[in-house]
Amino acid sequence: MTTPATTRQVMHLRDTRPSQDGDGVKIQRLHDFDGGLDPFLMLDELGSDRPDDYIGGFPPHPHRGIQTLTYLIHGGLTHEDHLGHASTIQAGDAQWMHTGRGIIHSEMPLTDHRGLHAFQLWLNLAARDKLSAPTYRDVRAEEMPRLSGDRASLTALGGHWQTLAGDGVDGPLARLAGQGAVAHARLSSGGTLELAAPATMLLVYVFSGSLDVAGTRVETGQLARLGDGDALRLTGVEGGEALLLGGEPHGEPIAHYGPFVMNRQEELDQALRDYREGTLAE
C-alpha cells in the first residue's frame, strides 16, 4: 500500500534586498552565511533594461570553497578564468564553477533588446572538498530536460526532479554541492505542478508573477523555505516563474569573507595570504 505524499508547507519567507557588486552591478540579493539555507549560501538576481546598471560586470576576482551556478533568462554573459576556460552563455544557458582550492575568473555581461536578466547561486562545499581541484563547465538550454504539469513546466538544470505521477528527469549538472538540485518552474494562471520533494532543504524563489505554494501566496522577489514532507505543490495565481532549490545540509561551521567561504577563521586567513602571495590559484 502506497503512503500518501505529505505536502510541504511554507515555514519562512524572505524578501530580496538591493545590493551592488563587481564594477557597480546592481543586484537583488538573498544570503545566509549562518547556515539557515545550508547547503545554499546566496542567490543574486541581476535584472535591468538599463545597461548602466550592469555593463561594468565582474572583473577578475578570486573564489575558494564554493560552487557558483549562473543561469540566464535573457542577455548574455562571458566567463574567463585562470585555467583557460572561456565561454559565453545566452538565454536559457548556464555556467557552473567548482572553485575548490581557488579560481580567478571574470564575468562580463552582454545585452540584448531586453537588457540582462540572470541569477547566480552560491553553494557551499563540504569541508572535505574545500581544497579540491577547481573546474568549470557550461550547459546549453537544449541540454536541460523538461517536465510538464497542468499548464505548467519545469526545466531541470541539475539534480533529479520527478512529478507525483512518476515522470522524472535528471538535470545535466550532476555534481552540485550538497546533493543540490536546481530547476526553473513556469506556471500559467491556474496551472499546477506537483513534485516529489524529499530534499531536506527545499526553497522556492519567485522571480515573476506570484505562486501559491501549498496554500501560501509567494510574490515576486520572495524566497520561501519549506518545512518537512515529501511533496511540493505549486499553483499559478496569475502566472509566475520560480527557481526551485533542493539540497542536503552539510551541518558544518561556516566562515565567510568576501569571495571566500571556509569552515574556520584561520582557513580564511590562509586564503587571503594565498591570494596576496599569488598562490591561491596555483
Give tens-digit pLDDT for 132-143: 999 999 999 999
The correct CATH number of 15-141 out of 1.10.486.10, 3.40.605.10, 2.60.120.10, 3.60.20.10 is 2.60.120.10
Alpha helices in the chain (DSSP H): 265-276
Average pLDDT over all residues of the chain: 93
Residue 165 identity: A
pLDDT in tens, 89-106: 999 999 999 999 999 998
- The answer to whether the CB of 184 falls within 8 A of the CB of 155 is yes
| β-pair partners for 19 | 27
Q: Taking the domains of the chain in order of start, what are their residue ranges?
A: 15-141, 145-247
DSSP assigned state of 108: E
pTM of the shown model: 0.95
Closest to 154 measured CA to CA, from 73, 243, 68, 247? 243
pLDDT band per the 50, 70, 90 thresholds, residue 182: very high
pLDDT of residue 1: 40
CATH architecture of 145-247: Sandwich (2.60)
How many alpha carbons lie under 13 Å from residue 13 in its C-beta half-sphere? 14
CA-CA-CA-CA torsion sign (271, 46, 15, 213):
negative
Instruction: Report d(CA 9, CA 244) in Å as an integer.
Output: 14
